[in-house]
């Protein structure tokens, strides 16, 4: 039998009973679409959680001065040396490393904050404009620290939410001058209320440029350098690079400690694994349901055609040829059904994305592949297998529909 | 041409063994016109199905053109059916979704005959069987007589040596039945071996050789060589 004839016979057979063909394709399409939409939902939820986690600042690597020797007492300590401090130049060097997205140097001190007759002791953070992103702080009104040269000591400050209320009440704070220690600073912004973060109450902070803080406290060292790695997978690399850079700049002396948020990361990984497994489970269940649906439809469809198989045999078609005919038909049917299902599934995901914009509901490629594979696989298997069995009957038995 | 020796066929119904054919010996020469008659349940259709390779004997041998065909595998049997045997059924067995012309073409499609040759042969058959204005109609748009004419055209499309007809007029009225018989008898003139199964003695009487069957055995055969 010629290939063109096989194709023509298959299309003719599908067109010959449009209702049956349509119902089978519908079953196939719904199966595939269900897998696509459900996995899109699962994957959307997973990605939503991942995004939320990333915004918590889990890509953080922290450099702090001093190195704790676990193997006894370092030679420096015996000589009564204090660890060498981390300078702004060190921070800038780290900034240039490949896996680092941005850094925020941090200096901490306490000073007297006063406006008119009101004054109180506050924790002062010296940092740069990057701190807002690195620590994921939210600005209430005004602007955050200006970008530009890290060594510039502008006399500007950003107040924590509670500080603003205590000093200004309901008055306008941005643009006003306050006194911090022995210097006057202009308020350029107020942080939004956000509670505690990294053991510091952000609401009670005053943030000034790092150079200004150095002048204020008469120091040149940094308390911390916060590094945001480019991604979760390069955290270790960023840590290593930061260590190398500091080692080089401090002439081979390992006098800083670089830490990551290992505990947080471990938890994060566990949650991520659980979510991925959940998506996989959703996919597996919907695939199984789709597979069973397709199986039943195909089995019934072939059972109705045992007579036709008998006739084809009586007309001189060997079992193998009949199998090929049913294979071609099932492949065609499953192919069109899968494509229809994909269109339906992607349309469904699109609608979900429109209705819930926060949920990035796109089906993972492996689920799409598995859905099509299942549709094609079960469609062909449960069409060719019963057809093969019917073709193995003596034609007279098949003709009688037994 | 057709040689059956000690052919039996039994079916299992429930836990009982039912013999449809018991030790049939039968030789049919090429170009003969044979009718097999008998009451229903006498095994005449089973015999015809065996001759047409639609069924397998439980025991005995069946030689077609000198070769034992019961021992052939599926592919070889299919080739024999395709090249040597044409079948006409009582209930026509046309493919409902295909037009008359396509039904006639079907055995040739299955045999892999090139399209140009197929079209030519289909056109000739349609002409011969007076189906010209019915060629593009599907079976449900055809009368019983027309359907059986399509079935005969289909059965002869591969120019078989043997044509087997199982109650070909059983679903037709008398007039169309006579027309169909005339068509079949025309084929006998063209040296086709025709084997006709019927319960109607009038119809069976027209054949050159008449075989009577009862209870799975041949009780009379006016053409048997002694």
Residue of B nearest to A398 (CA): B54
Which residue of chain B comes nearest to A325, CA vs CA?
B110
Among A15, A321, A392, select the one facing B110 at the smallest CB separation.
Answer: A321
Whether the predicted pLDDT of A69 surpasses 60: no
Cβ contact, residue pair B97, A17, below 8 Å: yes
Residue pLDDT, tens place only, B59-100? 999 999 888 998 888 899 999 999 999 999 988 899 988 999
Q: Cβ–Cβ of B54/A317 closer than 8 Å?
A: no
Least confident among A49-53, A163-167, A245-249, A351-355: A49-53
In order of their start, the domains of chain B are 2-221 (3.40.50.300)
Position A55 scores a pLDDT of: 64
In this structure, what are the phi and psi dihedrals at residue A211, rounded to the nearest 5 degrees?
-65, -35
Q: Do A315 and B56 touch (CB under 8 A)?
A: no
Compute the half-sphere exposure of residue B95: CA atoms within 13 Å on the CB side of its CA: 26
A110-122: pLDDT as tens digits: 999 998 888 889 9
The yes-or-no verdict on residue B103 having pLDDT over 60 is yes
Contact B95 A395 (CB under 8 A): no
Chain B: residue whose CA lies nearest to A319 = B74
Q: Which residue of A has its CA nearest to B48?
A: A396
Model confidence pLDDT, tens digit, residues B3-62:
999 999 998 888 888 889 999 999 999 999 999 999 988 999 999 999 999 998 999 999
Residue of B nearest to A317 (CA): B78
Q: Among all residues of chain B, which has the CA nearest to that of A391?
A: B74
Per-chain mean pLDDT for chain A: 85
CB contact (8 A) between residue B110 and residue A317: yes
Is the CB of residue A17 less than 8 Å away from at least one CB of chain B? yes
Question: CB atoms < 10 A from the CB of A357, how many?
Answer: 9
Q: Give the residue-averaged pLDDT of A47-76.
A: 69
List pLDDT tens digits, range B107-156. 999 998 999 999 999 999 999 998 999 999 999 999 999 999 999 999 99
**Nearest chain B CA: its distance from A16 CA (Å):** 5
Per-position DSSP letters for chain B, written without gaps between them:
-EEEEEEEEEEEETTEEEEEEEEEEEEE-TT-EEEEE--TTSSHHHHHHHHTTSS--SEEEEEETTEE-TT--HHHHHHHHHHHEEEE-TT----TTS-HHHHHHHHHHHHT--HHHHHHHHHHHHHHTT-GGGTT--GGGS-HHHHHHHHHHHHHTT--SEEEEESTTTTS-HHHHHHHHHHHHHHHHTT-EEEEEES-HHHHTTSSEEEEEETTEEEEETT---
Q: Which residues of B touch A19 (CB under 8 A)?
A: none
Q: Does A304 touch chain B (CB under 8 A)?
A: no
Does residue A152 have a pLDDT over 60?
Answer: yes
Of A2, A13, A314, the CB nearest to B81: A314
Residues in A touching B110 (Cβ below 8 Å): 1, 312, 315-317, 321
Nearest to A313 among B78, B79, B112 (CB): B78
Contacts of B116 in chain A (CB under 8 A): none
Q: For A352-356, what is the mean pLDDT?
A: 91
Backbone CA torsion sign across A199, A204, A49, A129: negative
Local structure of residue A159 (DSSP, 8 states): E
Which residue on chain A is closest to B114 by alpha carbon? A2
Asked whether the beta carbons of residue A315 and residue B110 sit closer than 8 angstroms, the reply is yes
Cβ contact A357:A331 at 8 Å: no
pLDDT surpasses 70 at A77: no
Mean pLDDT of A301-311: 89
User: Which chain A residue shows the shortest CA-CA distance from B80?
Assistant: A316
Instruction: Check A394 against B55: CB less than 8 A apart.
Output: yes
Check: pTM over 0.95? Answer yes or no.
Answer: no
pLDDT in tens, A355-395: 988 888 888 898 899 999 999 999 999 999 999 999 988 88
Q: Report the C-alpha gap between B193 and A6 in whole angstroms.
A: 32
> Per-residue confidence at B226, pLDDT binned at 50, 70, 90?
very low
Residue ranges of E strands in A231-326: 256-260
Domain assignments of chain A as residue spans, ordered by start: 3-52+266-399, 84-254
**Is A314 close to B74, i.e. CB distance below 8 A?**
no
Cβ contact, residue pair A314, B52, below 8 Å: yes
Q: What was the ipTM of the complex prediction? A: 0.90
Specify whether the backbone of B203 is left (phi greater than 0), alpha (psi in -120 to 50) or beta: alpha
How many Å lie between the alpha carbon of B57 and the closest alpha carbon of chain A? 11
Q: How far is A385 from chain B (nearest CA, A)?
A: 17
pLDDT for A330-344, tens place per residue?
999 999 999 999 999
Question: What is the per-residue pLDDT for B156?
Answer: 93
Interface of B with A (CB under 8 A): 49, 52-56, 74-75, 77-79, 81-83, 85, 87, 89, 93, 95-98, 102, 106-107, 109-112, 114-115, 154, 158
CB contact under 8 A, B54 and A17: no
Do the Cβ atoms of B83 and A5 come within 8 Å? no
Please give the pLDDT value at position A247.
86
Are B97 and A319 an interchain contact pair (Cβ–Cβ within 8 Å)? no
CA B35 to chain centre: 11
| Chain-chain contact of B81 with A313 (C-beta, under 8 angstroms) | yes
Flag whether pLDDT at A259 surpasses 60. Answer: yes
How many Cα neighbours within 13 Å face the side chain of A334? 27
Give the pLDDT score at A71: 46
Identify all chain B residues contacting A9, using CB atoms and an 8 Å cutoff: 109
Residue B182 pLDDT grade (very low, low, confident, very high; cuts 50, 70, 90): very high
* Residue B111 with chain A: CB contacts under 8 Å: 1, 316
- pLDDT tier for residue A200 given thresholds of 50, 70 and 90: low
For residue A346, what pLDDT is reported? 94
How near does any CA of chain A get to the CA of B107, in Å?
Answer: 6
């Amino acid at each position: 039998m010629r290939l063109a004839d096989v194709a023509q016979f298959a299309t003719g057979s599908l067109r010959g009973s449009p209702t049956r063909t349509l119902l089978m394709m519908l079953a196939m399409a719904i199966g595939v679409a269900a897998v696509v939409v459900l996995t899109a939902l699962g994957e959307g939820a997973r990605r939503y959680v991942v995004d939320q986690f990333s915004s918590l600042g889990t890509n953080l690597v922290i450099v702090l001065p001093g190195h704790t020797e676990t193997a006894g007492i370092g030679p420096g300590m015996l000589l009564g040396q204090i660890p060498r401090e981390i300078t702004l130049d060190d921070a800038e060097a780290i900034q240039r490393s490949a896996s680092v997205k941005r850094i925020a140097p941090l200096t901490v001190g306490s000073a007297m904050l006063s406006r008119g007759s009101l004054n109180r002791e506050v924790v002062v953070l010296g940092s740069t404009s990057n701190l807002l992103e690195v620590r994921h702080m939210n600005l209430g009104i005004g602007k955050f620290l200006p970008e530009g040269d890290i060594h510039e000591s502008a006399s500007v400050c950003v107040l924590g939410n509670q500080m603003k209320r205590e000093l200004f009440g309901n008055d306008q704070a941005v643009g006003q001058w306050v006194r911090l220690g022995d210097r006057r600073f202009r308020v350029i912004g107020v942080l939004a209320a956000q509670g505690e973060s990294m053991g510091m109450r952000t609401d009670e902070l005053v943030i000034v440029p790092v150079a200004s803080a150095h002048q204020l406290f008469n120091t040149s060292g940094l308390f911390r350098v916060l590094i945001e790695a480019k991604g979760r997978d390069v955290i270790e690399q960023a840590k290593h690079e930061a260590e190398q850079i500091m080692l080089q700049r401090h002439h081979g002396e390992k006098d800083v400690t670089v830490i990551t948020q290992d505990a947080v990361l471990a938890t994060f990984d566990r949650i991520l694994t659980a979510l991925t497994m959940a998506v996989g489970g959703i996919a597996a269940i919907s695939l199984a349901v789709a597979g069973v649906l397709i199986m039943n439809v195909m089995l019934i469809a072939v059972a109705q055609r045992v007579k036709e198989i008998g006739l084809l045999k009586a007309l001189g078609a060997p079992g193998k040829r009949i199998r090929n005919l049913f294979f071609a038909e099932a492949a065609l049917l499953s192919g069109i059904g899968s494509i229809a299902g994909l269109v339906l599934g992607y349309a469904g995901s699109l609608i979900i994305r429109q209705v819930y914009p926060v949920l990035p509901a796109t089906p993972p490629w492996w689920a799409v592949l598995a859905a099509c594979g299942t549709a094609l696989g079960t469609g062909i298997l449960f069409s060719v297998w019963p057809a093969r069995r019917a073709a193995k009957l003596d034609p007279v038995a098949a003709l009688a529909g037994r | 041409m057709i040689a059956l020796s000690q052919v039996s066929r039994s079916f299992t119904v429930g836990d009982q063994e039912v013999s449809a054919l018991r030790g049939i010996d039968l030789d049919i020469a090429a170009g003969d016109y044979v009718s097999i008659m008998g009451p229903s349940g006498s095994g005449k259709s089973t015999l015809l199905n065996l001759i047409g390779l639609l069924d397998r004997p439980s025991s005995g041998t069946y030689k077609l053109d000198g070769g034992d065909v019961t021992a052939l595998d599926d592919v070889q049997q299919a080739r024999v059916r395709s090249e040597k045997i044409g079948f006409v059924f009582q209930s026509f067995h046309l493919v409902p979704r295909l037009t008359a012309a396509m039904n006639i073409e079907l055995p040739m499609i299955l045999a892999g005959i090139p399209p140009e040759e197929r079209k030519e042969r289909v056109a000739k058959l349609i002409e011969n069987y007076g189906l010209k204005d019915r060629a593009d109609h599907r079976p449900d748009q055809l009368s019983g007589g027309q359907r059986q004419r399509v079935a005969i055209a289909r059965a002869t499309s591969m120019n078989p040596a043997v044509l087997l007809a199982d109650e070909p007029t059983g679903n037709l009225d008398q007039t169309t039945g006579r027309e169909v018989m005339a068509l079949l008898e025309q084929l006998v003139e063209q040296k086709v071996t025709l084997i006709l199964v019927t319960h109607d003695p009038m119809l069976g009487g027209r054949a050159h050789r008449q075989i009577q069957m009862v209870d799975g055995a041949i009780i009379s055969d006016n053409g048997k060589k002694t």
